[in-house]
Structure 1
């Protein structure tokens, strides 16, 4: 372990020992339930809750899979973006490695990575020369403040995503959601974005440390919206969902391939669908009932 990394963790452990009796940012969604509709996290998926903490505040919530070293989903409240996309300063979660550490995410210092950090989560080296990009579940594009946007650059919020998806149909989906919600949602909009693993024979990055999802999914809940919706959006409120391909060789059972797509994006298509249809696919793949929003984003007060 480098001296810089050792000092970073020492400071985190010392400050964490003073705060740990009051709050735990890993292992409990209680401090960050406000990022979910009706303070109700998605049900049915098993993992380690993380309240993503940065610059003395919570920014979003993540359900993390330690065996996969990647998130199962991230939940957040949408805010209209402003300014330029922050530079990528990648961070890690100290409490995944040391339960008594400070709960705030930390930037990776230069030099070798601490062994406990290496065993507990993905590190930047996993993605180098892997043929996969770092795909945000909670994208910077869906946030307003610099701190909110910078907080999305943690490896506990990203999964291995093919560039043809990340820079193509999936990015178009994120931009489309941005436009629809900013134009027609009158109150808070809650978004949950997650992954669908392979049915069998998990795929991994080259060093067999970080699991690769076969599909990605996303759903939003906007309880209060403008009733004067254009005809093409009337089925997309108060909630809507989508599934995107992350593997060109996947079957077309869930998402058909657009044969007219540009070569670099062909096979990374996104299929929009009602929330109930998404939950049907999640139930089939995870072999359990998965509920994304409380009462499927019930708009009643």
Structure 2
């Protein structure tokens, strides 16, 4: 199993820039994306998440806004990485998009509406609708959350299903939502702030729509750069008390080394 857990944490990133992240390596500390290949479900795709926009001359351009490592077997992301640029008042876009290039290498590189088509290598909206009311309810839980975005384009870019995984609805809307708000206060005074947010899959539970692996828990690693000093902090949730637990980077990497192993 090639599992370089240390490299998942931005304050400890040491790996070489991979070709897939070449256009968005700036979202990792020192331009060094982590390398991660799980032993079970080992088909991964590096995605530079982007949107189209028109420049001042009305020419169509691509803007890269964050990076995602996506597992096409699980149909959920392993992690998304971005730089926190301060919270501004940004509205929310309800539609969700997909990444056409995951199923068609010749497709355009940025997110697009999916329509009614089922995709082999990624989740689609229909995977989340029509859930059995007698079973646990799952939201499309953001990794890069809307409340950490800073303008309409960055907000829009988070609304791709490659940046989401099935997350317990109550936990997503209460505990994890409050955690995302609290992180803003922790990082607002940083000169630069890097984040990596990931999903540990729960293979003991049925897949959503028999296609999409649900999350065991979400985790977050932050790296604050202030006056040349690097400070890291780890989080994961839900823990055994259905809360978000704060812990050191070292403790988080120990937790991930254990929980990413197949059982």
TM-score using structure 2 length: 0.80
Q: Which has the larger radius of gyration?
A: 1
Could you list the runs of 5+ residues in structure 1 that have no partner in the other structure? Answer: 1-26, 228-236, 246-254, 258-267, 289-301
2:182 to 163, 172, 176: 176
Q: In structure 1, how many angstroms separate the alpha carbons of the residues matched to 2:94 and 2:259?
A: 33
Q: 1:37 corresponds to which residue?
A: 29
Q: In structure 2, how many angstroms separate the alpha carbons of the residues matched to 1:62 and 1:156?
A: 8
Q: 1:192 corresponds to which residue?
A: 196
Does residue 204 (structure 1) correspond to residue 210 (structure 2)? The answer is no
The alignment partner of 1:189 has SS state of: strand
Does residue 125 (structure 1) correspond to residue 99 (structure 2)? The answer is no
Q: In structure 2, how many angstroms separate the alpha carbons of the residues matched to 1:134 and 1:240?
A: 25
1:238 to 223, 231, 234: 231
Q: 2:20 corresponds to which residue?
A: 28
1:59 to 61, 65, 68: 65
| CA displacement at 1:42 relative to structure 2 | 2.2
In terms of fraction of residues, the more strand-rich structure is: 2
Q: 1:74 corresponds to which residue?
A: 80
In terms of fraction of residues, the more helix-rich structure is: 1
Residues 92 and 106, structure 1, Cα contact 8 Å, conserved in 2: yes
Instruction: Note the 1:271-286 alignment, pairs <5 A.
Output: 271-286=245-260
Residues 217 and 242, structure 1, Cα contact 8 Å, conserved in 2: yes
Residues 225 and 238, structure 1, Cα contact 8 Å, conserved in 2: no
Q: 1:106 corresponds to which residue?
A: 112
Instruction: Note the 1:259-270 alignment, pairs <5 A.
Output: 268-270=242-244
CA RMSD of aligned residues (A): 2.1
TM-score using structure 1 length: 0.71
What per-residue deviation string (whole Å, max 9, x for no partner) do you get for residues 12-60 of structure 1? xxxxxxxxxxxxxxx7111110011111112334521000011221010
| CA displacement at 1:163 relative to structure 2 | 1.4
The alignment partner of 1:240 has SS state of: strand
